[in-house]
Amino acid sequence: MKINELRDNPGARKSRVRVGRGIGSGLGKTAGRGQKGQKSRSGVSIKGFEGGQMPLHMRLPKRGFNNIFAKDYAEVNLGAVQKLIDAGKIDIKGVLDHGALKAAGLARGGKDGVRLLGKGELKTKISFKVAGASKGAIEAVEKAGGKVEILEKKDSAALAAAKKGKAREARLADKAAKNSAAKA
């Protein structure tokens, strides 16, 4: 037997039924859809429609909500970091940031950065540059002789409001200067 001779078992792959191919095929004319009505037409989707009765997905109670302002942090435990240090997969000379943790396979996702958590034990002196850290994690890192630098949060809404306020102040000052020039 050669690779190019590999085949499926007979009957394992069934060919698609070609509908609407004449009366002799048994699925000609209406192609198995019956006569008339919404379901016999193409491009119609009535999944979940219950003949005007309130559909099940609308009858069931809703719970919870999805916070659109929630931050997405990749959570990294100190024990996992120590495990990779012991395995020699992390360079302890540099500063561990989001990129380094992601390259090591610890930080998955986390579009808003990494949050360091204190689960596990850290024995190695190492410095971190992360978006956030728990009290326990900071204490554990400092106890091992390292340090944790927390990056400042960039709140886009606050920045936009500050810019808007400065622009408004500039307009008002401009207006006041024009008014005083017109009076003089």
CATH code of residue 95: 3.100.10.10
What gap in Å lies between CA 148 and CA 132, rounded to an integer? Answer: 9
Domain with 125 in it: 74-150
- Write out the chain's pLDDT in tens, 184 residues: 899 999 999 999 999 999 999 999 999 999 999 999 888 988 887 888 888 899 999 999 999 999 999 999 999 999 999 999 888 888 888 888 898 888 888 888 888 999 999 998 988 899 999 999 999 999 999 999 989 999 887 666 666 667 777 778 888 888 888 888 887 7
In a domain, 68, yes or no: no
What gap in Å lies between CA 180 and CA 184, rounded to an integer? Answer: 6
H or E stretch covering 156: helix 156-183
In a domain, 60, yes or no: no
In a domain, 106, yes or no: yes
Question: Taking the model in full, what pTM does it have?
Answer: 0.53
What is the tally of structural domains in the chain?
1
In a domain, 52, yes or no: no
In a domain, 59, yes or no: no
Catalogue the E-assigned strands of 36-78: 74-77
What gap in Å lies between CA 98 and CA 72, rounded to an integer? Answer: 13
In a domain, 146, yes or no: yes
In a domain, 28, yes or no: no
In a domain, 14, yes or no: no
